[in-house]
Each structure stands twice: as structure tokens, then as C-alpha cells.
Amino acid sequence: MNRWRPVPLAKTRRPCHVYAMLGVASLRARALRGLGALLSLLATAAPAAAQGGAVDPLMAPRASALIRQGERRVASDMLGRYLAIAQEDGRAWLQMGRIYLLDARDWHAHHAGEPDATLYLEFAAASLDMAGRLARDSGAVFRGLVEMERATLVYEDSGWVATQRVFVGRDLPLLPPAMRELGDNLLASCPSGGILVTGGDTETVSAWYAALQRTAKEPVVPVRPDLYVTDQHYRERTAKLLNVDPRLPLRDAITAAASRRPVCITPSADSAAVPVMTWRVSRLVRLSRGETPRESALSFSAFLEESQAGSSEWVVATREVYERAARFNPQLCPALTAVFTGAPPVACRP
């Protein structure tokens, strides 16, 4: 039996008036007293009239600074009071969603405590839905991270095949087009049956989205080195996937897996996760064995369109991935120089 199941999207979109009336900080305190009591509270809360408080343009930057300083609880309390009267501040909702997402990730360290990751992710989804409704581009990306974390819970419990059964064809929140394209390009660089070792949120959420939406006899499976090191549940499930001893350090586990199946290293993967062994380039990745896939080519049309339109703040992060790939694979330079109009990748400059 699965212990963790993703909450259907229709159930994650709590009306913002629930948070405004109760206060997000108060909601957190109630949650800590018991999951059942909180769910009952959310289900019976009466609608409240929309508030018309003025938007404070400095609130979101202050909250972001507090988060960076490790003062997440202070930021949460501050945002809870503020959003109770200023419900139309998309940037503030984004910061609240980030806090809940970080809380869910912290839960992975011990897989214990209330609220659990499922509930934190429900709160994150509700906050980020508000951020997305208010036209905050980053809200869409962090909303995608929520779904990736939900998929990770299913994966830890039941494995990759079961995770795909849950998410293939599901109406997931859309990432910006350039990031969806990046995910397709990463998978198109790794042979069938490969393990795709990712690094950083931009690569990881792009690759997970692409992988979850594909059905294949031998799927490419993304692996998160950060969770392998910090989360025993994730480590045991991934060791089973790699067919290695879960007591092995990450580098040794990758080395052992690479002797049996293709292992692909994405451009932003932490060097601490990359074993000292013979690697060759395969489009955007470094590859241990196997041939570069031939059935699909790289595409940069969405990246080029968003770059020219200046419509996504995540274009810069996507470009950084391509820039790093060019450091390992000079054969990318002709295509990337044409795409990065006026400013070719540093590795491709004379």
C-alpha cells in the first residue's frame, strides 16, 4: 500500500480567503497541534469577503531576505499577517509558497513530524496558485517544484514505474516553455534506460516534468543527488533502482551503476556527485556508456522566443544550463551561438 499519495490538484486550490481569515501563521500553529484538526478547520471555514489592503512593494523582498537569513518562521508570521489584508500581492504569495516548499523539503530529513510533507505541499500549492493567478512567472516554476516533490514522495514509496502511472497524462501546472523545452533536451541527450543525475532546481524540475510525461519501455529516470545524500528513504529507493548497495556513497553508487547501464550527468550537477571515470559528451550531458539518442534532436525555439520577448525571468537560468553544457561539448557552439543572438556562450567565444 502506498503511504504517500499526491493530493489531486482540485483539492489543493484552497480559496485565498481561508488563509486571509485564519492567518497563515495561525494555520501553521493549528497544523502543528494535529493534522486532523487542521483539515477539519479548512473544510469548515466560512468564506470571508475579499480584503482591500494596499500592496506593500517591500514586503516580498523583506520576506525573501529573512528566508535567506534562516528566519523562515519570522517571515511566515509576517507574511501571514500581511496577506490577511493584502490578498492581491502576488510576490508575497510567492514567498509564502516558497516557505511551505522549504518546509516540505526539510521534512525529508527525518520523514517524521506534523504537518507532514503532503500537507506542506498542499499549502505551498495553494499559495503558489495565488502567485500564478496574479501573473508572477516564478510562481509557475515553484508550482512545478511542488508537483516534483509530490512525485518524489510517490517514488520513495513505490518506485519510478508507479510514479509514472500516477503522473503520465495528468494535467500538471505548466512550466515556462523554455524550461519544458530544456527538460525535453536533457532527456533527448540521454540513452534509453539511462540514469540522469541532475543539479539545481532549473535542471531538476525540467527533467522530472519531461520524464513524468513520457512512457517508454526503458525510461530515462532523473536522480536527485541532494536527496540521495540526505534522505534515507530516497537513498534506499534509488539504490534499488541502480541495483547497488544503499550503504555506498553517492559517487561509488554511480560508478557501480555505470558499469551496467548508461549514466548521464547534467551540466549543473555537483562535481561531488561525479565519479572520476571516463565520460564522453552526448549533446547536453556527459555519458558513461551507450549511444546518443537519434530519434529526437535538440530544440531551442521556445528559448529563443522567450529570450526575444523578455517574458520569463527563468530564461537566464535556462541559458546558464546551456552555457555550462557548452563547456563540456564544443560541438554545441554553432547552434548555441545562433540561438544566443549577440552574445555567444563564453566557452564558444574566440
CA distance 254 to 244: 9
- Inform me whether the pLDDT recorded for 247 exceeds 90: yes
Q: Model confidence over 106-157: pLDDT tens digits?
A: 998 889 888 889 999 999 999 998 888 876 667 889 999 999 999 999 999 9
The residue ranges of every structural domain in the chain are: 9-159, 175-350
State the pLDDT confidence band at 322, using cuts at 50, 70 and 90. very high
Calculate helix-pair angle for 200-212, 137-158, nearest 10 degrees. Answer: 60
8 Å CB contact between 283 and 189? yes
Instruction: Give the per-residue pLDDT at 136.
Output: 62
Q: What is the mean pLDDT of residues 254-283?
A: 93
How far is C-alpha 17 from the geometric centre of its chain's CA atoms? Answer: 27
Q: What is the mean pLDDT of residues 271-277?
A: 89
CA distance 154 to 283: 30
CA distance 247 to 235: 9
Q: For the chain, what percent of residues have pLDDT higher than 70?
A: 84
CA distance 320 to 300: 14
CA distance 58 to 72: 17
Higher-pLDDT residue of 74 and 273 is 74
State the pLDDT confidence band at 170, using cuts at 50, 70 and 90. confident
State the pLDDT confidence band at 314, using cuts at 50, 70 and 90. confident
8 Å CB contact between 237 and 245? no
Instruction: Give the per-residue pLDDT at 297.
Output: 86
Instruction: Give the per-residue pLDDT at 52.
Output: 54
End-to-end alpha carbon distance in the chain:
58
CA distance 52 to 89: 11
Cis peptide upstream of residue 275 (ω within 30 degrees of 0): no
CA distance 3 to 146: 18
Mean pLDDT of the chain, nearest integer: 83
Instruction: Give the per-residue pLDDT at 22.
Output: 40
Burial of 310 (0-12, 13-18, 19+ CB in 10 A): exposed
Which DSSP string corresponds to 52-107? Answer: -PPP-TTHHHHHHHHHHTT-HHHHHHHHHHHHTT-TT-HHHHHHHHHHHHHHHHHH
8 Å CB contact between 176 and 310? no
Handedness of CA 82, 86, 91, 96 (dihedral sign): positive
CATH number of the structural domain 9-159: 1.25.40
pTM for the whole structure: 0.83
Find where cell 518546509 sits: 103
Which DSSP string corresponds to 104-154? Answer: HHHHTTTT-SSS-HHHHHHHHHHHHHHHHHTT-HHHHHHHHHHHHHHHHHH
Instruction: Give the per-residue pLDDT at 58.
Output: 94
- State the cell numbers at 22: 485564519
Q: In sequence order, what E strands does 1-46 have? A: none
